[in-house]
Every structure is written in structure tokens, then in C-alpha cells.
């Protein structure tokens, strides 16, 4: 009988992960990722499935979520810095060769997973909710976000970085390329004294442009 209970516990635990085991993260890392999502998205609506590295299109300037995009299009996270024409930082100077290879692999392997409503404060937005928006009145339409699951990467000096992509969808606005409310960005944070602070941002405006 004890063996039956053990099997049931294993099955329940695997179902609760909802695909997160594919990330290769430890339980502590998954917990830390959800803590960040709670902190950064304390309310509003988030699409139930995350973005993978291959989610491309006009929302991200036609570019995949990659190390190349990160290093080429990053800008200072400030009102004036985001419009500068040169990168804010060269990540090659922050990472060892091995760490860079690790980060590239994390981008390549980032899968689509289903978020766990019990682990976040924001309300999950499902496909049925998206369909309802198509016939909703202006007042009934709600903005929601789609995000990638956080990527963690340690730098050569021991500083830890967190990378997350987000795409805000506002049905009350057009899908014109100049409508920034319907376009994506990649946010990079660094951990200082146990707190995640803004480090740099990769806007879809720069992702779609080549030097």
C-alpha cells in the first residue's frame, strides 16, 4: 500500500509542474521565478502560456529572443536612454565564455509552459478570454500581457541577472507598428543585495533595426 501512495505523490507532483520541469530549473529556481512574477506583475491579466524563444513577429521586430538580440539592442532603462542609438552594455564583457554559452543555450531551450494560477497574483487570461475580446465593447476590453518564463544567468563577477520578455496587448489600440502599447520588450534585471533592480531594456523598436 505504501508503494501506491508514493506513486500517487509522484504523479501529483509532476502534474503540478505543468511543463516547468522542461526548463531544467531546480525547485528553488522555479520558486524564485514565481516570486519575481508576483513582484513585477502584482495585478492585471497575464496570458496563461509563456512565450518561447521562437515567438517572433512584429511584436518583437521579427527577431527571436536570443543572445544576439540581447547584446545588440539593449538600452539603458531610463526615459532618455531607451532612445539612444548604441547599446547600453556589452554582455560579452559581463560573462565568461562558458557563461555566454550557457545563456545562449537557455534562450534556445526556453519552452512554452502553462503558468500556475495558484503561484501568481495577476489573473490568468485564456484563449476563451481572447475570443470574447473580439466581440466586446470598448469599455469591456481589457489589456493583458504575455510573458516568457524568467531566465537566470550569473555573470563573471558573481552578479546574477534575470531576463524576461513581455508583450502588452491592448485591444483598444491599433496594431500599427508605431503603437508601442501593442509591442514587446525584453527586460533585464540584476540582483543587488537580494533585490532585483532594472538593469537595461531591449525595445522592439531597436530589435527591428540593424546597424
The model carries a pTM of 0.79
Return per-residue pLDDT of the chain as tens, 211 residues.
444 433 333 333 333 444 444 457 889 999 999 999 999 999 999 999 998 877 655 455 555 678 988 898 888 877 666 667 678 999 999 999 999 999 999 988 887 889 999 999 999 999 898 888 777 776 677 788 889 999 999 999 999 999 999 887 766 654 444 444 456 788 999 999 999 999 999 876 545 444 3
Each as own residue / partner, the long-range contacts of residues 18-21 (CB below 8 Å, 24 or more positions apart, any chain) are 18/113, 18/114, 18/115, 18/116, 19/111, 19/112, 19/113, 19/114, 20/113, 20/149
Task: Report how far residue 98's alpha carbon sits from residue 43's, in angstroms, rounded to the nearest whole number.
Answer: 37
Contact predicate 145/169, CB 8 Å:
yes
Amino acid at each position: 500500500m505504501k508503494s501506491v501512495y508514493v506513486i500517487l505523490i509522484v504523479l501529483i507532483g509532476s502534474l503540478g509542474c505543468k511543463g516547468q520541469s522542461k526548463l531544467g530549473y531546480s525547485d528553488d529556481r522555479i520558486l524564485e521565478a514565481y516570486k519575481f512574477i508576483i513582484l513585477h506583475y502584482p495585478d492585471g491579466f497575464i496570458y496563461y502560456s509563456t512565450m518561447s524563444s521562437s515567438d517572433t513577429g512584429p511584436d518583437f521586430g521579427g527577431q527571436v529572443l536570443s543572445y544576439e538580440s540581447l547584446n545588440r539592442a539593449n538600452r539603458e532603462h531610463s526615459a532618455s536612454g531607451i532612445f539612444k542609438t548604441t547599446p547600453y552594455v556589452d554582455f560579452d564583457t559581463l560573462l565568461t565564455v562558458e557563461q555566454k554559452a550557457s545563456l545562449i543555450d537557455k534562450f534556445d531551450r526556453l519552452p512554452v509552459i502553462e503558468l500556475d494560477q495558484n503561484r501568481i497574483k495577476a489573473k490568468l487570461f485564456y484563449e476563451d478570454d481572447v475570443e470574447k475580446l473580439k466581440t466586446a465593447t470598448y469599455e469591456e476590453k481589457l489589456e493583458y500581457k504575455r510573458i516568457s518564463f524568467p531566465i537566470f544567468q550569473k555573470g563573471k563577477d558573481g552578479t546574477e541577472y534575470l531576463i524576461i520578455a513581455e508583450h502588452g496587448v491592448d485591444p483598444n489600440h491599433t496594431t500599427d507598428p508605431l503603437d508601442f502599447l501593442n509591442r514587446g520588450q525584453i527586460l533585464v534585471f540584476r540582483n543587488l543585495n537580494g533585490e532585483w533592480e532594472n538593469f537595461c531594456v531591449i525595445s522592439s523598436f531597436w530589435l527591428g533595426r540593424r546597424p
